[in-house]
């Protein structure tokens, strides 16, 4: 069924039908049903400080996400149950959101609480048929998560880094016009770091040699919460943390690199919301540092000439994802040994889609509140981020050194976020 032997020889044999299965996310599709079993990050909580209502499209469903005056989130149908006006132009009240057309009021459970004219003019107004679809929402570490699957919802997995104190966190969103799965395949693709992020960056700075340390050895492993890739590059050994610990392609659509997470959230079959959460531990001696509000910003993808921005790490990744086509045609690829992890991941997706179709709970769904409260992940940067290091030592640490000078992951960090970061780190002005 998987039809993909592309390990070290020959062409991939992924069929068009298999490609459809991996990429289609609407309600009732195998992948859509699988992904709906997991909580998805869909926004930053701080977005709702200035604008409490946000239209969102998730896995082909048009919805509106809001935070009411009591501070509760709701995620309900984009259209009002009365005559289908756009709830994104409604306003929030103490409880729920009110349609701006005739004032019907909806709550986070999708119940229609008020129909002002009916409630006034009719002795027994009917709410029959007026409930709308509504999905559970939770906030964690500045992120807003939603669950679009069958109830009861599983626990929201709280990954350990989301619980770390004494760090400056920020959330960066990007609207990526291509299918989510090619974005997620990038989470298990170590060799691209050498070429896309190292050699290409150096070429853009005027270099004319490929000077990045080459990858010498790769290993891919599966674990409870996804896959781990390990690598040895020139100048490293098997004692290095990139080999002993590795990095995590987080099941089902995340990526964890030690100090930050990335999620590739399907908007629909041809669009993805990239959600990234970053943590930088304040230098030793600056604790306690309490960040009241986690800033959220949107990274632009194109410059004023309409060209993709290629200077920043995740912007570079996005150029690769979009370049593969709106939905990558996997019948035409040629997988090799660098792609073993990709094949492993596809196999796991096919197996879990089958499990869901058979009425089973797929892997990685957590039902125990105790287990979900703080889940450790393999982490190359755990000590750096929990113990912290002195500011004077940042320069010795390749993972931290670049952070002080600039935010290299996404283009477009707003100046006020940079200022807040400088203040948190205690590093003076630019
Ligand atoms: S369409 Fe929303 S209240 Fe009439
Ligand atoms: Fe990358």
Distance 367 CA to ligand 2 centre (A): 32
Instruction: Report the residue among 76, 79, 104, 118 best suited for mutation to probe ligand 1: largest number of ligand atoms under 8 A from its CB.
Output: 104
Distance 131 CA to ligand 1 centre (A): 13
Share the mean pLDDT of the chain: 95
Q: Is the full-model pTM beyond 0.85?
A: yes
Distance 164 CA to ligand 1 centre (A): 44
Environment class of residue 422 by beta-carbon count within 10 Å: exposed (0-12), middle (13-18) or buried (19+)? middle
Per the DSSP assignment, residues forming a β-bridge with 62 are 57
Edge-to-edge order in the sheet of strand 167-176: 215-223, 226-233, 247-250, 254-256, 260-268, 271-281, 167-176, 296-298
Q: What is the model's pLDDT at position 400?
A: 86
Q: What is the model's pLDDT at position 403?
A: 87
Q: Counting atoms of ligand 1 from 1, which one is nearest the CA of 115?
A: 3
Q: Tell me if 170 sits within 8 A of 297, measured CB to CB.
A: yes
Q: Tell me if 81 sits within 8 A of 168, measured CB to CB.
A: no
Model confidence pLDDT, tens digit, residues 316-373: 999 999 999 999 999 999 999 999 999 999 999 999 999 999 999 999 999 999 999 9
Non-local (6+) Cβ contacts of 371 within 8 A are 155
Q: Counting atoms of ligand 1 from 1, which one is nearest the CA of 90?
A: 2
Q: What is the model's pLDDT at position 12?
A: 57
Nearest CA to ligand 1 atom 3: 102
Q: Counting atoms of ligand 1 from 1, which one is nearest the CA of 103?
A: 3
Nearest CA to ligand 1 atom 4: 102
Pocket of ligand 1 (CB under 6 A): 80, 82-83, 85, 99, 101-104
Instruction: Report the residue among 99, 113, 115, 129 best suited for mutation to probe ligand 1: largest number of ligand atoms under 8 A from its CB.
Output: 99
Run of H or E including 416: helix 415-425
Helix or strand or coil: residue 77? strand
Q: What is the model's pLDDT at position 402?
A: 86
Run of H or E including 318: helix 313-323
Model confidence pLDDT, tens digit, residues 51-63: 999 999 999 999 9
- Can you tell me the distance from the alpha carbon of 99 to that of 80, in angstroms, rounded to the nearest whole number? 7
C-alpha pair distances (Å), 301 with each of 187, 276, 312, 345, 413? 19, 15, 10, 27, 12
Distance 193 CA to ligand 2 centre (A): 6
Run of H or E including 244: helix 241-244
Low-confidence ranges of the chain (pLDDT < 70): 1-12, 429-430
């Amino acid at each position: 069924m998987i039809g993909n032997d592309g390990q070290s020889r020959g062409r991939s044999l992924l069929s068009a039908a298999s490609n459809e299965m991996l990429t289609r996310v609407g309600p009732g599709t195998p992948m859509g049903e699988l992904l709906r079993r997991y909580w998805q990050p869909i926004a930053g909580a701080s977005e709702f400080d200035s604008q409490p209502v946000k239209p969102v499209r998730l896995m082909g469903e048009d919805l509106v996400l809001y935070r009411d005056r009591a501070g509760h989130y709701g995620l309900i149908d984009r259209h009002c149950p009365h005559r289908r006006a756009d709830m994104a132009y409604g306003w929030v009240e103490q409880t729920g959101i009110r349609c701006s057309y005739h004032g019907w009021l909806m709550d986070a459970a999708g119940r229609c609480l008020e129909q002002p004219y009916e409630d006034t003019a009719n002795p027994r107004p009917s709410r029959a048929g007026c409930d709308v679809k509504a999905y559970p929402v939770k906030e964690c570490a500045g992120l807003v998560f939603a669950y679009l699957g069958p109830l009861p919802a599983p626990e929201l997995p709280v990954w350990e880094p989301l619980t770390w104190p004494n760090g400056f966190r920020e959330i960066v969103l990007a609207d990526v016009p291509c299918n989510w799965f090619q974005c997620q395949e990038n989470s298990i693709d170590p060799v691209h770091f050498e070429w896309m992020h190292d050699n290409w960056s150096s070429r853009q700075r005027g270099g004319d040699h490929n000077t990045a340390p080459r990858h010498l050895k790769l290993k891919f492993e599966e674990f409870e919460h996804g896959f781990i890739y390990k690598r040895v590059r020139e100048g490293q050994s098997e004692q290095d943390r990139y080999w002993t610990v590795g990095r995590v392609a987080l099941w089902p659509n995340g990526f964890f690199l030690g100090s930050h997470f990335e999620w590739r959230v399907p908007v629909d079959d041809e669009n993805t919301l990239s959600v990234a959460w970053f943590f930088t531990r304040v230098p030793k001696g600056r604790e306690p540092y309490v960040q009241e509000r986690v800033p959220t910003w949107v990274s632009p993808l194109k410059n004023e000439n309409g060209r993709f921005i290629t200077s920043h790490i995740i912007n570079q990744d996005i150029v690769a994802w979009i370049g593969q086509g709106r939905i990558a045609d996997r019948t035409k690829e040629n997988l090799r040994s660098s792609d073993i992890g990709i094949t492993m991941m596809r196999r796991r997706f096919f197996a879990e889609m089958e499990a869901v179709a058979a009425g089973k709970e797929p892997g990685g769904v957590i039902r125990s509140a105790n287990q979900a409260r703080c889940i450790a992940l393999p982490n190359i940067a755990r000590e750096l981020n929990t113990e912290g290091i002195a500011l004077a030592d940042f320069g010795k640490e390749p993972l931290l050194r670049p952070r002080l000078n600039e935010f290299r992951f996404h283009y477009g960090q707003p100046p006020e976020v940079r200022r807040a970061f400088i203040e948190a780190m205690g590093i003076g002005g630019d």
